[in-house]
Amino acid sequence: AQTVTQSQPEMSVQEAETVTLSCTYDTSENNYYLFWYKQPPSRQMILVIRQEAYKQQNATENRFSVNFQKAAKSFSLKISDSQLGDTAMYFCAFIIQGAQKLVFGQGTRLTINP
Protein backbone atom coordinates (compact mmCIF):
# COMPACT_ATOMS: atom_id res chain seq x y z
CA ALA A 1 0.00 0.00 0.00
CA GLN A 2 1.11 3.51 -0.74
CA THR A 3 1.39 5.91 2.18
CA VAL A 4 2.40 9.52 2.61
CA THR A 5 3.68 10.84 5.92
CA GLN A 6 3.99 14.45 7.02
CA SER A 7 5.68 14.49 10.40
CA GLN A 8 5.06 18.16 11.19
CA PRO A 9 1.43 18.78 12.19
CA GLU A 10 2.05 22.51 12.65
CA MET A 11 4.73 25.05 11.79
CA SER A 12 5.01 28.76 12.35
CA VAL A 13 7.51 31.25 10.95
CA GLN A 14 7.89 35.00 10.60
CA GLU A 15 7.07 36.76 7.39
CA ALA A 16 9.98 36.79 4.88
CA GLU A 17 11.63 33.76 6.47
CA THR A 18 12.24 30.49 4.67
CA VAL A 19 10.41 27.38 5.81
CA THR A 20 10.71 23.73 4.81
CA LEU A 21 7.88 21.23 5.11
CA SER A 22 8.77 17.56 5.26
CA CYS A 23 7.15 14.66 3.46
CA THR A 24 8.07 11.03 3.09
CA TYR A 25 6.26 8.37 1.14
CA ASP A 26 6.32 4.66 0.68
CA THR A 27 5.84 2.76 -2.55
CA SER A 28 7.35 -0.11 -4.47
CA GLU A 29 6.49 1.53 -7.78
CA ASN A 30 9.05 3.31 -9.90
CA ASN A 31 6.87 5.68 -11.90
CA TYR A 32 4.77 8.15 -10.00
CA TYR A 33 4.05 11.82 -9.40
CA LEU A 34 4.39 13.87 -6.23
CA PHE A 35 2.56 17.06 -5.35
CA TRP A 36 2.19 19.72 -2.76
CA TYR A 37 -1.30 21.14 -2.37
CA LYS A 38 -2.24 24.21 -0.37
CA GLN A 39 -5.58 24.48 1.41
CA PRO A 40 -6.18 28.00 2.76
CA PRO A 41 -9.04 28.81 5.13
CA SER A 42 -11.22 29.22 2.05
CA ARG A 43 -10.93 25.39 1.87
CA GLN A 44 -10.10 25.07 -1.83
CA MET A 45 -7.24 22.73 -2.66
CA ILE A 46 -4.69 24.56 -4.78
CA LEU A 47 -1.81 22.84 -6.54
CA VAL A 48 1.48 24.41 -5.47
CA ILE A 49 4.06 22.27 -7.23
CA ARG A 50 4.40 18.96 -9.06
CA GLN A 51 7.31 16.54 -9.52
CA GLU A 52 7.61 13.57 -11.85
CA ALA A 53 9.54 10.73 -10.25
CA TYR A 54 11.57 10.09 -13.40
CA LYS A 55 12.96 13.64 -13.33
CA GLN A 56 16.05 14.16 -11.23
CA GLN A 57 15.83 17.92 -11.38
CA ASN A 58 13.88 19.43 -8.50
CA ALA A 59 10.75 21.33 -9.48
CA THR A 60 10.58 25.07 -8.81
CA GLU A 61 7.66 27.50 -8.97
CA ASN A 62 8.65 31.04 -8.03
CA ARG A 63 9.16 31.04 -4.23
CA PHE A 64 8.32 27.35 -3.95
CA SER A 65 10.82 24.59 -4.58
CA VAL A 66 11.14 20.94 -3.67
CA ASN A 67 13.96 18.69 -2.56
CA PHE A 68 13.16 15.34 -4.13
CA GLN A 69 15.26 12.44 -2.89
CA LYS A 70 13.94 9.38 -4.68
CA ALA A 71 16.15 6.83 -2.97
CA ALA A 72 15.15 8.17 0.43
CA LYS A 73 11.52 8.59 -0.69
CA SER A 74 11.56 12.13 0.57
CA PHE A 75 9.82 15.14 -0.96
CA SER A 76 10.17 18.34 1.06
CA LEU A 77 8.75 21.74 0.14
CA LYS A 78 10.75 24.92 0.66
CA ILE A 79 8.96 28.25 0.74
CA SER A 80 11.29 31.22 0.40
CA ASP A 81 10.48 34.79 1.43
CA SER A 82 7.28 33.58 3.08
CA GLN A 83 4.22 35.82 2.87
CA LEU A 84 1.12 36.16 5.02
CA GLY A 85 -0.91 34.67 2.19
CA ASP A 86 1.08 31.44 2.49
CA THR A 87 -0.78 30.67 5.71
CA ALA A 88 -2.65 27.46 4.99
CA MET A 89 -2.77 23.72 5.41
CA TYR A 90 -0.24 22.05 3.12
CA PHE A 91 -0.77 18.51 1.90
CA CYS A 92 1.84 16.31 0.30
CA ALA A 93 0.26 13.90 -2.19
CA PHE A 94 1.31 11.02 -4.40
CA ILE A 95 -0.15 9.14 -7.34
CA ILE A 96 1.19 6.13 -9.19
CA GLN A 97 1.38 6.51 -12.95
CA GLY A 98 -1.62 4.75 -14.45
CA ALA A 99 -3.63 4.87 -11.22
CA GLN A 100 -6.54 7.12 -10.34
CA LYS A 101 -6.10 7.45 -6.61
CA LEU A 102 -4.24 10.47 -5.26
CA VAL A 103 -3.00 9.66 -1.74
CA PHE A 104 -2.62 12.54 0.68
CA GLY A 105 -0.49 12.97 3.76
CA GLN A 106 -1.97 14.16 7.03
CA GLY A 107 -1.15 17.78 6.31
CA THR A 108 0.98 20.49 7.92
CA ARG A 109 -0.67 23.63 9.21
CA LEU A 110 1.64 26.52 8.32
CA THR A 111 1.19 29.93 9.91
CA ILE A 112 3.11 32.95 8.67
CA ASN A 113 3.29 35.62 11.36
CA PRO A 114 3.66 39.34 10.61
Partner 1 sequence: AAGVIQSPRHLIKEKRETATLKCYPIPRHDTVYWYQQGPGQDPQFLISFYEKMQSDKGSIPDRFSAQQFSDYHSELNMSSLELGDSALYFCASSLVPSSGELFFGEGSRLTVL
Residues found near partner 1 in the complex (CB under 8 A): 32-33, 35, 37, 42-47, 50, 91, 95-107
Of 111, 73, 107, 112, give the one whose Cα is nearest residue 92. Answer: 107
Number of Cβ within 10 Å of residue 72's Cβ equals 9
Q: Output the smallest distance, CB 18 to partner 1, in A.
A: 25
Which three-class secondary structure state does DSSP give residue 2?
Answer: coil
What one-letter code names the amino acid at 15? E
Give the nearer residue to partner 1 in terms of CB position, either 6 or 76: 6
Q: Output the smallest distance, CB 12 to partner 1, in A.
A: 18
Give the nearer residue to partner 1 in terms of CB position, either 15 or 54: 54
Which three-class secondary structure state does DSSP give residue 55?
Answer: coil
Give the nearer residue to partner 1 in terms of CB position, either 16 or 99: 99
